[in-house]
Amino acid sequence: MNIALYSKVVNENNLKTIFHLFRKLQSKKINTLVHSDFLKLLKEHSDLQDFELKEFGSCKELGSNVDFLISIGGDGTFLDTISLVRDSGIPVLGINTGRLGFLSNTPNSEIGETIEALYSNNFSIEKRSLLQLDHSKSLFGDDNFALNEVSLLKKDTSSMIIVHVELDGTHLNSYWTDGLIISTATGSTAYSLSCGGPILMPGSGNFVITPIAPHNLNVRPIVIGDNSVLKLRIEGRSESNLIALDSRSQEIKNNEEVTLRKAKHKISIVQLNNHGFIQSLRNKLNWGLDKRNQ
């Protein structure tokens, strides 16, 4: 078995977690590949002579022989792995050393059980849809997809922007707002939720359009089918605004149009027993913690 590892933070707090994971993988004689940036950080903090580690730096270097990619960190770290696995079909599992962790939903206290589950094939795979962004200038190159959301945001001004939205060839609305979020079902528990959007089950087959602080209070989030095609255009007082795919952002000029649609490929996420989406909702949002339920 071959398992790749990715993280972007190495400190005294998570070194124990990382080394515990290395030792567990080594005890199972699992070939371990470590992302080059992660390996560089590790070498700055500790001696790695006790571990047999190989290095990779890109999706091409992962190849087709990797069985899993493990993300060590929070949801932001997990989102970075989407650009590494791309359309390879490599399943991703997140070990949470961050805060909330809807994507990285495996506690770092359960590393031993996690590797045993992967080794014994005791897990399930969830396929998650991605949003693909198309733009005449290829703003994000071939890394033009997002697992959580695409956000259009004002830049360098306190004034609102206007986002004109066309849904499947029909004008939907011109949003007077601080920004607009187009979220996948996976991302419905992220930025969209904090702006009043609904929570969607991962397999619901929907996207959510959520305005950020809209000027018209009767403009609310709307759920659309994930086979829809959206065209968006921003107007504002600044010459340029921001467009973000998950945590990656670029400037976009006024009146430039972007098209959003469901990507052709999906991301495979490893779900261990008792760590599914419903369990995460209850644990992360403290559902059921009410004296009336006791």
Q: What letters, b where the CB count within 10 A reaches 16 and e where it falls short, cover 76-93?
A: bbbbbbbbbbbebebbbb
What letter does residue 42 receive in the DSSP assignment? H
Local structure of 30: helix, strand or coil: coil
Q: Which one of 50, 75, 142, 290 is the catalytic residue?
A: 75
Based on the residue annotation, tell me whether 75 is a catalytic residue of this protein: yes
Are 6 and 84 in contact by the 8 Å Cβ rule? The answer is yes
Q: How many angstroms separate the CA atoms of 203 and 274, rounded?
A: 18
Q: What is the CA radius of gyration of the chain?
A: 20
Neighbour count for residue 29 (Cβ, 10 Å) = 9
Which amino acids are annotated catalytic?
75
